[in-house]
Structure 1
Amino acid sequence: MKKLLIALFFFIGSLLPTQAQVLKESNIVSLKDSVTNTIAKKDSVKTPYKIIPRVATLRSAMVPGWGQIYNRQYWKLPLVYGGFAVNIYYIITNQAKYSYYKQQYINNFQVTSPPSSAKITLYGDESGTQREVTSSQLNTFVNGYRRNRDGSYLFIAVVWVANIIDANVTAHLKTFDLTDDISFKIQPTLISPDMMNAVYGAKLTFAFK
């Protein structure tokens, strides 16, 4: 009997490490499953896209159109870059004409100093034709193309500022909280300064929840 108890004791003792190992492995598997489920839940919940007006303004100030991209208004990009492209084109065109007529004025009227009524013939100007002009006419061309060029520079600045203002206003509108906490209704009312002369009107009522 004593031998049987000793044998049973050793048998149970040999099973204990195996059971402990099984429990340990089971706990590890459960922990891995829990972590996996937590990560999957976090991935399934998308963080809403948050727009900060200050960021949109700074980005448009640094790079035109960047604020519109940040606000996800991609359709405005052709307007922004189109405004820059048009003005850059006029700057290049007017600069070329200004340089041409200025050089003609210097060569024909400042170097040789002819009478003010004298005319010169321009060959191969931007229109490809020949024309006779006086010094005052040539000077008018020079000043006119210079003003047009400078005006295009000014319009580039206007487009840049408009791009910044648009990004700022759009960002504020997108972050404006439109909830159902504010409501209003219009209902008829009776305006009676005295009991004899009653006037019908309308009453506007705001309700804050």
Structure 2
Amino acid sequence: MPNNRLYTSLFILFFASFFGFSQTPADSIRKDISKDIPKEAVIDSIVRKPMNILAPSRAAFYSAVLPGLGQAYNKKYWKIPIVYAALGTGIYFYLDNDKTYDRYRDAYKRRLAGFTDDEFYGDGTTPRVSSEGLIRAQNTLRRNKELSLLITFGLYALNIIDANVDAHLLQYNLDENLALKPHFKYSEQENSTNLGVTLNFKF
């Protein structure tokens, strides 16, 4: 029994001393390697821009208050003219259909009152546009008004969604620490080429 305890103690002491000595060179190598790495590379691989979880909500809120303001918050200034051009087109068609609808409605009201001097009657004894035609035109223009208004609201909502999604995408990590790069190398000594793709991931 004493011999077994002695052997056990020696065995534990041997492995403890082995791992203790084996760690020393590794530590020294790690320290030597860290000395060779530029400080800028170490800082670049460690420092990250903090994620702003409120940025998407803030961008969406700004675009809801004033279309295009969320795009300006995301620094996508080139999108602002597109936002206003889309909304302006929808509003233009709505106002144009509304104005034409009022013309047909006023003419129809004068027909019901017994007048024949509206702009759609013409100079002859028979109207250029019948009363039924005025009713059909009003129905078509009313639908066009509603469609234009619906499209305008859809573009307004799309402006908000675009600002929100853009703010999300701007926070993705696209730096050099995670990259997929093709490479092409030519060896003059071996007179050969090397073509491939490297995946770089740094902690």
Q: Unaligned stretches of 5+ in structure 1?
A: 1-47, 113-119, 187-203
Name which of 155, 165, 169 aligns with 2:151.
Answer: 155
- Given candidates 78, 84, 87, the residue that maps to 2:87 is 84
Q: 5 Å matches for 1:1-209?
A: 52-109=55-112, 111-112=113-114, 123-124=118-119, 132-182=128-178, 209=202
**Cα gap change, 1:74 to 1:184, in 2 (>3 Å):** closer
Q: Which residue of 2 aligns with 1:26?
A: none
Structure 2 unmatched ranges of 5 or more? 1-48, 183-196
| Structure 2 residue identity aligned to 1:96 | K
Q: Is the 8 A contact 1:121 1:133 kept in 2?
A: no
- Give the Cα–Cα distance (whole angstroms) in 2 for the partners of residues 74 and 185 of structure 1: 30
TM-score scaled by structure 1? Answer: 0.54
Superimposed CA distance per residue, residues 120-154 of structure 1 (whole angstroms, 9 cap, x where no aligned partner):
967435xxx76612222111101111111111111
Distance 1:207 1:50, change over 3 A: closer
2-side partners of 1:63 and 1:50: how far apart?
25
Give SS of 1:175's match.
Answer: coil
* Secondary structure of residue in 2 paired with 1:133: coil
Task: Report the 3-state secondary structure (helix = DSSP H, G, I; strand = E; otherwise coil) of the residue aligned with 2:173.
Answer: coil
Identity %: 35
Local SS of the residue matching 1:164: helix
- TM-score under structure 2 length normalisation: 0.56
What SS class does the counterpart of residue 73 from structure 1 fall into?
coil
Structure 1 moving runs of 4+ over 2 Å:
48-51, 120-125, 179-186, 204-209
State the SS of the aligned residue for 1:74.
coil
Cα shift at 1:105: 1.4
CA contact (8 A) 1:122 1:132 kept: no
The question of whether the paired residues in 2 share the 8 Å contact of 1:121 and 1:132 is answered with no
Larger Cα-atom Rg: 1
What CA distance in whole angstroms lies between the structure 2 residues aligned with 1:77 and 1:175? Answer: 21
Distance across 2 between alignment mates of 1:139 and 1:100:
12
